[in-house]
Amino acid sequence: DGGITQSPKYLFRKEGQNVTLSCEQNLNHDAMYWYRQDPGQGLRLIYYSQIVNDFQKGDIAEGYSVSREKKESFPLTVTSAQKNPTAFYLCASSIDPIGEKLFFGSGTQLSVL
Amino acid sequence: GENVGLHLPTLSVQEGDNSIINCAYSNSASDYFIWYKQESGKGPQFIIDIRSNMDKRQGQRVTVLLNKTVKHLSLQIAATQPGDSAVYFCADISGGSYIPTFGRGTSLIVHP
């Protein structure tokens, strides 16, 4: 089955630690996105990539980094510079760089120990 | 970019009633609108979309209405079922950005 897979489902971060969230898609989609969701809030864009080997900052990129070395993979690193990382992280993809009809993964809940 | 907002954070309905979820947008350049449904602990799922050259679009039990004059979008769910309980987000895309902007969401609670 085609889809978008995020792992792990739950992740804990210690102070000063970098952690990486995985996002893989086998939909052959060009574009991929990372959103952050806080309780009772909408989705805020962290980074997006419209094509392999290229990515752009979203509205809240500080403290995060990404790479897009392969079309199917778009990992997100939450660095120690992100002082409030506890949130639900959602990865999404779209068939082309125009972000119509996003397909979302099931999310990763990141918490700070 | 400008944000898409929602009028009501929570909507409670009885099973079998029709539900109407509203959304206001402020970007006059927005030309494409999408509704997503997010069940607890899951990622959002696409429900229905509409382009700015339309004012109504129907799907299975859902209808989206677009009023460009007052920059208002609504999602109507007919004969609401307990499985419709979720958070509903509207999002918009303007021709210049190609990146969807999401509103806060409305929590729909369906009572049996």
The 10s digit of each residue's pLDDT in B19-34 is 999 999 888 889 999 9
Nearest by CB to B43, from A40, A100, A106: name it.
A106
Per the model's pLDDT, the better-predicted residue between B95 and A90 turns out to be A90
Residues 44-73 of chain A whose Cβ lies under 8 A from any Cβ of chain B: 44-45, 48, 50, 58
Tell me how close the Cα of B103 comes to any Cα of chain A, in angstroms: 5
pLDDT at A51 over 50: yes
Average pLDDT, chain A: 93
Model confidence pLDDT, tens digit, residues A94-111: 998 888 899 999 999 999
- pLDDT at position B96: 76
Q: Which residues contact B60 (CB under 8 A, 6 or more apart)?
A: none
| Residue B4 confidence class, pLDDT cut points 50, 70, 90 | low
pLDDT at A93 over 50: yes
How many Cβ atoms sit within 10 Å of the Cβ of residue A17? 13
Q: Do A107 and B49 touch (CB under 8 A)?
A: no
Long-range CB contacts (< 8 A, 24+ apart) of B69-75?
A: B71/B24, B71/B25, B71/B26, B71/B28, B72/B22, B72/B23, B72/B24, B72/B25, B73/B22, B73/B23, B73/B24, B73/B25, B73/B33, B74/B20, B74/B21, B74/B22, B74/B23, B75/B20, B75/B21, B75/B23, B75/B35, B75/B47, B75/B48
Q: Do B43 and A101 touch (CB under 8 A)?
A: no
Q: Token pair for residue A57?
A: 């900052």
- pLDDT at position B2: 36
Q: Do A48 and B99 touch (CB under 8 A)?
A: yes
Most B CBs within 10 Å: which of A23, A100, A101, A109, as the mutation test of the B interface? A100
Nearest CA in chain A to B31: A100
Q: Do A101 and B46 touch (CB under 8 A)?
A: yes
- pLDDT at position B7: 44
Gap between the Cα atoms of B37 and B48, Å rounded: 10
Q: Do A40 and B9 touch (CB under 8 A)?
A: yes
Nearest CA in chain A to B96: A98
Model confidence pLDDT, tens digit, residues B52-103: 999 999 999 999 999 999 999 999 999 999 999 999 999 999 877 788 989 8
Q: Do A101 and B104 touch (CB under 8 A)?
A: no
